[in-house]
Chain A
Amino acid sequence: MLRVEALTKRYKTGDKALTDVSFDVPSGQVVGLIGPSGAGKSTLIRCVNRLVEPSSGKVFLGDREITRVGRGELRRVRRRIGMIFQEYALVERLTVMENVLSGRLGYVPFWRSFLRRFPQGDVDKAFALLDRVGLSDHVDKRADALSGGQRQRVGIARALEQDPELLLVDEPTASLDPKTSRQIMRLICEICRERGLPAIINIHDVLLAKMFVDRIVGLRAGRIVFDGPPDALDEEALTAIYGSEDWNAMRKEADETAKDAAEAADFEARAQAGAA
């Protein structure tokens, strides 16, 4: 479904964010993308819909090469790819419904979107989606009147309103409390399975990832260092990704790594206690 070939991204400052990244995502698979902060997770998923222009390499959606299309065609490709953001990225001053309908912008002409006169089919779908994510009562509220979890639900509905063939999810739980985080992850993964929708979920919480996804890809300093099922993600693999012993090379990420490693150890201890 999605194929990434030898993707490389070098920023103007000379920093290399991604080096020779290749992987496939077959239909219906939910992939968790993990790695320390600064490893290039965000850059990678933004290269897929070209919110960040890759320096070299190819990205295919089906048999269409995204990295080659022109501006008009890029819009038509983007509307096939739904995206969910870290800080929700809702348009705060628009209503919930307008935010969801903004998922249709790639499909309707400007006058329709300007007058907020979307085809009835789009409105039906938006109501159904809001119902699905549990926000039927908040249709005409402004987005900035909602709680964090509710906002992310709006973000999910907006992405699904696009009728996407692929979902890109950027740290969906980074600004949520643990309980809401799980609810949101569960909701995203359930919806993906209902619809056979492939997804790349960029997530820093290893345990949450292991709990919900079909496959894990580990990034470190812009390279893929792990690719396999969640069960295969053992201590050795975690070391390869987070490099908990290699302090010198990773000085920048040291803090983050320590925190993640501690979290991982803590969870594993609890999981074992629970199993016993």
Chain B
Amino acid sequence: MPVSHLADRPIWTRRTTRQQFAAYAGWLALVALTIFAFQVMTRDTIWFFVQDAPRQAGDLLDRAWPPRWSYLDRLWAPLWDTLNIATLGTLLGILIAVPVAFLAARNTTPSLAFARPIALLIIVASRSINSLIWALLLVAIIGPGLLAGIIAIGLRSIGFIGKLLYEAIEEIDESQVEAVKATGARGSQVIDYAIVPQILPTFAGISVFRWDINIRESAVLGLVGAGGIGVQLNSSLARLAWSEVTVIFIVILATVVVSEWVSAKVRGAII
């Protein structure tokens, strides 16, 4: 009771003493934990380098500017590859994510006890691991190149698309499903007539959104050898050619801005 009495007059406090104490203790624990974590983290940090950072930054800027624009000529092919990795990877992800989503949704899964947990595990595994790590694994397994990048993007997209799509399937209006069932439709027809029309706009929106994210991600996959403009970035970094790095950054930034614009336009048109 936040109202207590002192000399017959009610005293109002926002919380009871105990609540207040618990809240303070919680915040204190968080602060203590953060400080402790910071100390553990920086145990091996060489502070000389950190103090030196402004000078390093200035030096970097010196070498990075002006950008070497002539390098642009050698970026068009990798940029085209980057675009293809993103698009084909998204399509691959969609291809796998759609059945996984139907297996994961409570109202369409063939078995709650068996298929659903497996589908959910696929989704969480795909979501937990960044596309760059997928690429790292795939380059080791099938060798460097576009294919590794496409599969990496595809594998990461399964979790993202699958999760949002199965949530959309679980939120559909069941009465429409019941009505189509009542006409004597078979299972595939119920999906086609009652479920697909309801989730189609959401699905298109999710796919375009993921494509937009994939453009960003495929730009750096080359750092581990999975093709695209990141390969150029990696070699420029290795040669400490910062004026080339600047050009690459500008190209990536422009691509990201354009893809974000395209994705916003398409999503606006759908919804």
Name A's B-contacting residues (CB within 8 A): 49, 51, 75-81, 83, 85-87, 89-94, 98, 102-107, 110, 113-114, 155, 158, 162, 168
Question: How far, in whole Å, are A81 and B188 apart by their CA atoms in the complex?
Answer: 20
Decide: B176 and A110 in contact? CB cutoff 8 A: no
Instruction: Report 22 cross-chain contacts, Cβ distance below 8 Å, ordered by A residue.
Output: A49-B182, A75-B186, A79-B184, A83-B179, A83-B182, A85-B175, A87-B175, A90-B176, A91-B179, A91-B180, A92-B197, A93-B197, A93-B200, A98-B193, A102-B183, A105-B183, A105-B184, A105-B185, A105-B193, A106-B183, A107-B184, A113-B192
User: Do A102 and B181 touch across chains, with their CB atoms under 8 A apart?
Assistant: no
Dominant secondary structure at the B interface: helix
Answer whether A158 and B183 are a contact pair too, CB < 8 Å, given A87-B175, A89-B176, A91-B176: yes
Check if A85 sits within 8 Å of B179, measured CB to CB: yes
A78, B182: Cβ atoms closer than 8 Å:
yes
B: residues with CB less than 8 A from A are: 173, 175-176, 178-186, 188-189, 192-194, 197-198, 200-201
List the A residue with the shortest CB-CB distance to B195: A91
How many A-B residue contacts, CB cutoff 8 Å? 82
Question: A113-B189, A113-B193 known; A91 and B183 CB under 8 Å?
Answer: no
| Residue among A83, A85, A91, A98 having the largest count of chain B Cβ atoms under 10 Å | A91
Q: Which residues of B contact A86 (CB under 8 A)?
A: 175
* B residues near A83, Cβ cutoff 8 Å: 179, 182-183
- The docked-state distance in angstroms from the alpha carbon of A76 to that of B197 is 24
Is A102 a contact partner of B182 (Cβ separation < 8 A)?
A: no
Looking at the assembled complex, report how far the CB atom of A96 sits from the nearest CB atom of chain B, in whole angstroms.
13
**Docked CA distance A76–B184 (Å):** 6
**Chain B's nearest CB lies how many Å from the CB of A186?**
22
Q: In whole Å, how far is A243's beta carbon from the nearest beta carbon of chain B?
A: 29
Q: How far is the CA of A168 from the CA of B188 in the complex (A)?
A: 24
CA distance A49 to B185 in the complex (A): 13
Q: Provide the residues of chain B in CB contact with A80, threshold 8 Å.
A: 184
Q: How near does chain B come to A142, taking the closest CB pair, in angstroms?
A: 9
Q: Which of B178, B179, B188 has the most chain A CB atoms inside 10 A of its CB?
A: B179
A150 CB → nearest B CB, Å: 16
B111 vs chain A, min Cβ distance (A): 16
Of the residues B183, B189, B193, contact of A94 by C-beta under 8 Å: B193
Shortest beta-carbon distance from B130 to chain A in Å:
35
Flag if A89 contacts B184 (CB, 8 Å): no
B189 contacts A78, CB within 8 Å?
Answer: no
A-chain residues with CB within 8 Å of residue B176 when the two chains form the complex: 89-92
The CA of A80 and the CA of B270, in the complex, are separated in Å by 38
Contact A105 B180, beta carbon cutoff 8 Å: yes
Residues of the B chain whose Cβ atoms lie less than 8 Å from the Cβ of A104: 183
| Chain B residues whose C-beta falls within 8 Å of the C-beta of A110 in the assembled complex | 186, 188-189, 192
Min CB distance A126 to B, Å, is 13
